A and B are shown apart, each in its own frame.
Chain A
Amino acid sequence: MKVTIKLFAGFRENRFRVEERDLPPGFTVADLLRELGINEPELGVALINARHVLPGQELHDGEVISLFPKVGGG
């Protein structure tokens, strides 16, 4: 299945801004974080098609997932 991955802020560093990946069925948000080398506690919000999801959520063909880090500046 093809999934579009959008990364924000520091998550882009040494990775990418947006990329389409072919992932195996049943792949979850947590699996994707592992594959990208992002530690789960760094994750602020994960959105699939603009809806908030938890790391256990499975991805599906054609979805767009956006990953934002926690932001603590001010």
Chain B
Amino acid sequence: MFSEEQIERYSRHIILKEVGGKGQKRLLNGKVLIIGAGALGSPAALYLAAAGVGMIGIADSDVVELSNLQRQIIHHSGDLGIAKVESARQKMEAVNPDVKVNTHQLWIGADNILEIISNYDFVIDGTDNFAAKFLINDACVMAGIPYSHAGILHFIGQTMTILPNQSPCYRCVFPEPPPPNTIPTCSQAGVIGVLPGVIGSIQATEAIKFLLGVGELLTGRLLVYDAEELDFQTVPFDRNPNCPVCGDNPVITDLRDEPEAMNVCDLV
């Protein structure tokens, strides 16, 4: 049963026929993990909290730095030096006290990822390096947990939703991380601050649609957004039978960290 306050708070959802009281209940019972409380994670966390997603996990090992604030909108100037997960928790709880926030202040690695993601219905990849992106893909595929991939750089962003063993995974499209030092980091190449607002919000949209069971997810297609030309392209992809993780004869059957593929936006 909803409280009077909840009926008022979620009224614009409840009057949508695609949501209704039933859908809002699903959101309140939903569990979403956001890995990375950075540029992509900020809008995703705020929108999921506002929407009333009942349990939101947020994982990040960093503290808030001044150079984050141009794009990581969940962190404020008064948060410098505090753990990003703590800063994010405070904002999410301030937006919506209905939300239970689990903070994971740690580096997500091969040794802990499966245990952490197993508590959630959907995962949002808001990380800033290829090692984490490949690890999240492999772990979610192995555990059968749906997730939203995204990456940003310069003025371009991309995102794609993965339903393990039903839709193409990140490795179907990108089998291997790029060799070290071939791709500039965000700190070398820069990133326009509003870009992750668009992409992270799309990731939150996908999480909410998944929990509600409405619409078409961004599966089997990669959305590429060019903010400079304001151009969106959705590029269809098929599952790759030779995919090293979800193909017919997977060669990746254990999780491993790929530290050589680290491409950290904030720490470099």
Using a CB–CB distance below 8 Å, which chain A residues touch chain B? 8-10, 39, 41-42, 44-45, 47, 50-52, 68-74
- Contact in complex: A10, B178 (CB < 8 Å): no
Within 8 A of A (CB), among B236-265: 236-237, 263, 265
- Contact in complex: B182, A39 (CB < 8 Å): yes
- Contact in complex: A73, B173 (CB < 8 Å): no
Chain A nearest CB, measured from B35 CB (Å): 9
- Contact in complex: B265, A74 (CB < 8 Å): yes
The 8 Å CB contact of B150, one of A50, A68, A74, is A74
- Contact in complex: B127, A74 (CB < 8 Å): yes
Query: B226 in the interface, Cβ–Cβ < 8 Å?
Result: yes
Given A8-B226, A72-B130, A73-B265, CB of A41 within 8 Å of CB of B151: no
- Contact in complex: B233, A71 (CB < 8 Å): no
What 1/0 mask marks residues of chain B from 174 to 200 whose CB sits below 8 Å from any chain A CB? 101111001111100101000010000
Which residues of B are found within 8 Å of A74, using beta-carbon distances? 36, 38-41, 125-128, 150-152, 196, 265
CA distance A44 to B174 in the complex (A): 7
- Contact in complex: A8, B151 (CB < 8 Å): no
Q: Chain B residue with minimal CB distance to A8? A: B156
CA distance A9 to B160 in the complex (A): 19
The 8 Å CB contact of A42, one of B40, B126, B183, B236, is B183
Query: B235 in the interface, Cβ–Cβ < 8 Å?
Result: yes
Query: B165 in the interface, Cβ–Cβ < 8 Å?
Result: no
Q: Which of B126, B154, B191 has the most CB of A within 10 A?
A: B154
| Tally of contact residues, B, Cβ under 8 A | 44
Nearest 10 CB-CB pairs, A to B? A71-B151, A9-B154, A71-B153, A74-B128, A73-B186, A72-B130, A74-B40, A73-B152, A73-B153, A72-B263
Which residues of A are found within 8 Å of B84, using beta-carbon distances? none
Within 8 A of A (CB), among B84-141: 125-130, 133
What 1/0 mask marks residues of chain B from 192 to 224 whose CB sits below 8 Å from any chain A CB? 000010000000000000000000000000101
Q: Chain A residue with minimal CB distance to B129? A: A72
Which residues of B are found within 8 Å of A68, using beta-carbon distances? 156, 158, 224
- Contact in complex: A10, B153 (CB < 8 Å): yes
Which residues of B are found within 8 Å of A10, using beta-carbon distances? 153-154, 183-184, 189
Which residues of B are found within 8 Å of A8, using beta-carbon distances? 154, 156, 226
Which residues of A are found within 8 Å of B185, using beta-carbon distances? 73
CA distance A73 to B187 in the complex (A): 10
Which residues of B are found within 8 Å of A52, using beta-carbon distances? 222, 235-237
- Contact in complex: A70, B154 (CB < 8 Å): no
The 8 Å CB contact of A47, one of B174, B176, B196, B233, is B233
- Contact in complex: B178, A41 (CB < 8 Å): yes
Q: Which of A42, A70, A74 has the most CB of B within 10 A?
A: A74
The 8 Å CB contact of B151, one of A47, A51, A73, is A73
Which residues of B are found within 8 Å of A45, using beta-carbon distances? 173, 222, 224, 235
Which residues of A are found within 8 Å of B222, using beta-carbon distances? 45, 52
Query: B157 in the interface, Cβ–Cβ < 8 Å?
Result: yes
